[in-house]
Amino acid sequence: MTAQIIDGKAFAAEIRAKVAENVSTLKSKYAVTPGLAVVIVGEDPASTIYVNSKIKQTVEVGMKSFHFALPDTISEADLVAKVKELNVDNRVNGILVQLPLPKHIKEAAVIEAIAPEKDVDGFHVINSGLLATGGKGMVPCTPLGCLLMLQDTLGDMSGKKAVVIGRSNIVGKPMAQLLLQENCTVTLAHSRTKDLASEVKQADIVVAAVGVSELVKGDWVKDGATVIDVGMNRIAAPERGEGKVRLTGDVAFDEVIEKAAYITPVPGGVGPMTIACLLRNTVTAACRQASIEEIEL
């Protein structure tokens, strides 16, 4: 079997178009323009690229973008004070503090300072608690993007066996919760899992979010499985010239494509969905804050 490729780039474009349509309705019918504040601390090149992309796409869908580039010498107290200022700024519906933060700042302290209803990353403990208990919070963007692709591809997932590889707070744990809500039987595997290959072999759905280049091999995967690759690994590519890198996923794509029914590529799979879901979450946040119920996302 050769898998069908799930085109995350095209799907993300559809989500952005829907977001833009909703933003236009919010403006014309309710005089609400959703606003997203992005805070970056320091000048990490990868973070700067992500943040610039978030700002560009925010503006493209018609939302207001607020950008705060703060020096990496900022104290935790000053960063928390900035977040609290944004919490009470009515123009701002969503707040995103780009991670990682410099070592002298406790990420948890900053995340917990964000008003949960403006936490468009879905990282606040209130939002992770709501997700775990079936409540209506903000859902982290990357697992939300994976879920939307799975729903679109598979429809009803009831009773399917799902394996999530990686137990991060940002992807693995919320992904497992979302699949549980879809009535999957979920295994959350991690670096201490014994015989990962045999866990994966039993799964109808595999979500790899572990950060190990091409870990999931073709002979680990059940025939006809659906494989979602969250990995974004930059590995040395001397064949492309000195100092060059290439982007790989956590899945050995060339092998797994011969076994799976559906697979996401890297790049062009999960990556574009993350920012699209950030924009979607910002519209959700703006609607909830203005008690607008009729917008369908």
What does the alpha-carbon distance between residue 30 and residue 25 come to, in Å, rounded to a whole number?
Answer: 7
Stretch that binds ligand GUN, among 23-31, 91-99, 197-205, 256-264 (CB under 6 A): 91-99
Q: In what order do the strands lie in the sheet with 64-70?
A: 64-70, 35-41, 94-97
Residues annotated as catalytic are: 54, 98, 121
Question: What residues have CB less than 8 Å from 64, skipping those under 6 apart?
Answer: 33, 34, 35, 36, 58, 91
Q: With binding defined as CB under 6 A, does residue 186 bind ligand GUN?
A: no
Tokens for 228?
């979602």
Q: With binding defined as CB under 6 A, does residue 177 bind ligand GUN?
A: no
19 phi and psi, to 5 degrees? Answer: -60, -45
Q: With binding defined as CB under 6 A, does residue 277 bind ligand GUN?
A: no
Q: With binding defined as CB under 6 A, does residue 96 bind ligand GUN?
A: yes
Indicate which single residue of 22, 57, 93, 98 sits in contact with ligand GUN (rule: CB under 6 A).
98
With 0-12 / 13-18 / 19 or more C-beta atoms within 10 angstroms meaning exposed / middle / buried, residue 294 is: exposed
Site string for ligand GUN, 45-74 (x = CB under 6 A): ------------------------------
Shortest Å distance, C-beta 12 to ligand GUN: 14
Residue whose CB is less far from ligand GUN, 39 or 61: 39
Neighbours of 70 (CB within 10 A): 14
Indicate which single residue of 97, 114, 257, 295 sits in contact with ligand GUN (rule: CB under 6 A).
97
What does the alpha-carbon distance between residue 264 and residue 246 come to, in Å, rounded to a whole number?
Answer: 17
Q: With binding defined as CB under 6 A, does residue 119 bind ligand GUN?
A: no
Q: Which residues bind ligand GUN (CB under 6 A)?
A: 96-99, 121, 141, 274
